Structure 1
């Protein structure tokens, strides 16, 4: 009797294995944290380099952080390449063709690896619930100075705007951390299994792992970026001479 394989079955089995064998949510927490740090440092560096327009600086910081996020996903996939063959053997999800040796499953070459493989197209239900957003340039300032702000000196609208932007980033980050096993499983399928295994199976379409990561993350990323870029524009509109969130807070606390 011939077993019918599908991308969804591969994703499900690898997701279960990842949760039993490792800590995918903790790993995603570290990825999100380093991504946020890169965005914050980018914003600080751009400020020192003379980019004084707040909303534009936040937009650039988000762009850099998003690139860092994809780089960290690549590093995670590369790290996983070493035990992928063992994972596939353990799950026994791919029928070995007659006469094929286990060495045919070596997907990554020494010295960098190849991530040009792709997986089958599938449904992307609940994109927002499975996506990710990245906390970055500005959120550190927001948490620090907003916590020290005097409510009676700072307009309520400013406090609400800061709170909304921070909440959007923290909430979307929590969502991606919770859904990390599914996201990692899909990336593993698209990045590794397709290159050496999917060509044995008929009727499966392919796509690059970057395509999967982009589709899973672009919506929440844009939501988070929109909130912070909008916050930057609003603050500079209210206090044109200010070049950072700290200066906006300082302006309202020192102005009678």
Structure 2
């Protein structure tokens, strides 16, 4: 089966391409660097020739409110139009747990808009909603600040390893469309401030973390359940401690 992976050169996309190829599929990575630009439409029609399934894991290069909304809506419409023209049988997209709850930030609103375009496009689809990646924990810490003490939300988070996200997306691409969404998450739910505190401690970062229910998470204040999956979510096996241990082992091995 020929599968086009939009964003196929990134963190998740490259892993999705590799997994699909391991299962014998003709997986093709599409990105501006390969001549496919979803914002301008350049290369989209040619890339979709003979494609059965399109996987979209592309991300906006800017998280500014107007930029991220423009990226996901413009790309969403361009991809949908190209899929209809090519007769694509299945569209798979990576989204976020809690997108439909939109906890006060522009990125979630843009992903919600993207999901609406997918639902209305007329192409059979599957949406995989994932919790935040363990790999982005450092970004959460840095967003909170670089001073000796940082305030981090006490809202719940259930982070998942990127490898397990990629596996779930690839599995969705190899299965029939569900015309709905599934949720995936890591095995451990914990307060966000605890996640950041444990991460910084493992990295030898001296910043002190203060839990603050009012601290924003990328622009929005979240409650305990804002970012947590619902009943029936598929849970990964890689928890925070195991992931941190693997990161440490990898760093030592590269030294």
Asked whether the two chains share a fold, i.e. TM above 0.5, the reply is no
Which of the pair is proportionally richer in helix? 1
Calculate the TM-score normalised by the size of structure 1: 0.29
Which of structures 1 and 2 has the larger relative contact order (alpha carbons within 8 angstroms, sep 6+)? 1
